[in-house]
């Protein structure tokens, strides 16, 4: 089971999340320069962790040439499998929309150059959809960049556009909430080959852990919930969503992952004890 979107470096003890509730892999999202560095460091340390690097739309105050240059270097790292999370966020009064658009378009261009998917964050105030519409409008100019609509909100227009575009849709713990009818309907509609599960840990813990700090292993509860929504066995849906995660992020299969992990351990041992 793969958690396709978590902030592993926000956890007090990231190593404790490994293998929890059957977790086999995690994509740690680097949504600022600091967290991008952390995500890459964790991906270097643990063979079941991969990283993305990017700039969250609410962190654009730190944007600039030096930051972009450093993120572009990190984006070339072999353990980096995606760009972002980027996108538009109109939840706050000071949206810095021009800065968000600039950062979003730069990350779309970076995703194109590195041939990696862009992880997209979209958030609006309740009852509004300016960010949803804005993301759709910008993406129309970048039809060749693969995208993951992270923590999908169920917006019908973005759902229709994403399905037409061939986007992947990430469903997080809020899918399990009682008032999440639009998200649940989308979780039924998205074709199985475009469906991803995620935690956004430590945020948005699913039922029955709602109100607690979220953990990557809790993706199990979201997967079970969506399986019930779609009327399929959870074990079957796990195989589907894992295959989708490996496809969009180009992750190795489990056998390759274990072989690579063993090779990395042997290489590390030879380096630290060359006389062995």
Determine the 3-state secondary structure of 9 from DSSP. helix
pLDDT for the residue numbered 121: 98
Does the pLDDT value for residue 46 go beyond 70?
A: yes
Greater confidence, 177 or 254?
A: 177
**What mean pLDDT do residues 143-161 have?**
98
Q: Is there a contact between 155 and 130 (Cβ–Cβ < 8 Å)? A: no
pLDDT for the residue numbered 95: 78
The number of beta carbons lying within 10 Å of the beta carbon of residue 99 is 15
In angstroms, the Cα distances linking 142 to 106, 110, 112, 139, 165 are 11, 12, 9, 5, 10
159 DSSP 8-state letter: H
pLDDT tens string 119-142: 999 999 999 999 999 999 999 999
What is the distance between the alpha carbons of residues 123 and 127, in angstroms, rounded to a whole number? 11
What is the distance between the alpha carbons of residues 201 and 108, in angstroms, rounded to a whole number? 24
Considering the entire predicted model, what is its pTM?
Answer: 0.92
In 3D, which of 1, 12, 8, 103 has the Cα closest to residue 46?
8
pLDDT tens string 187-241: 999 999 999 999 999 999 999 999 999 999 999 999 999 999 999 999 999 999 9
φ and ψ at residue 170, rounded to 5 degrees: -95, 125
Q: Does domain 2-257 correspond to CATH entry 3.40.50.800?
A: no
In order, the DSSP letters of 163-175 are: HHHT-EEEE-GGG
261: which residues sit within 8 A by CB, 6+ positions away? 47, 48
Q: Where are the domains of the chain?
A: 2-257
């Amino acid at each position: 089971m793969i958690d396709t979107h978590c902030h592993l470096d926000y956890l007090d003890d990231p190593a404790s999340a490994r293998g929890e509730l059957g977790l086999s892999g995690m994509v740690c999202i680097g949504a600022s320069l600091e967290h991008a560095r952390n995500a890459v460091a964790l991906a270097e340390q643990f063979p079941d962790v991969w990283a993305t690097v990017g700039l969250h739309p609410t962190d654009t105050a730190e944007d600039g040439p030096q930051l972009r240059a450093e993120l572009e270097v990190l984006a070339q790292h072999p353990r980096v499998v995606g760009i972002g999370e980027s996108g538009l966020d109109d939840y706050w009064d000071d949206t810095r929309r021009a800065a968000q658009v600039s950062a979003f378009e730069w990350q779309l261009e970076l995703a194109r150059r590195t041939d990696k998917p862009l992880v997209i964050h979209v958030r609006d105030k309740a009852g509004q959809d300016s960010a949803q519409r804005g993301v759709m409008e910008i993406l129309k100019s970048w039809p060749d960049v693969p995208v993951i609509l992270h923590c999908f909100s169920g917006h019908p227009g973005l759902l229709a556009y994403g399905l037409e575009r061939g986007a992947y849709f990430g469903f997080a713990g809020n899918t399990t909430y009682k008032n999440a009818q639009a998200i649940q309907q989308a979780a039924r509609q998205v074709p199985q080959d475009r469906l991803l599960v995620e935690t956004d840990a430590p945020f948005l813990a699913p039922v029955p852990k709602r109100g607690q700090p979220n953990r990557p292993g809790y993706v199990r509860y979201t997967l079970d919930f969506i399986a019930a929504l779609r009327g399929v066995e959870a074990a079957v849906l796990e195989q589907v969503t894992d295959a989708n995660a490996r496809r969009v992020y180009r992750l190795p299969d489990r056998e390759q992952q274990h072989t690579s992990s063993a090779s990395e351990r042997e290489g590390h041992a030879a380096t630290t004890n060359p006389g062995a």
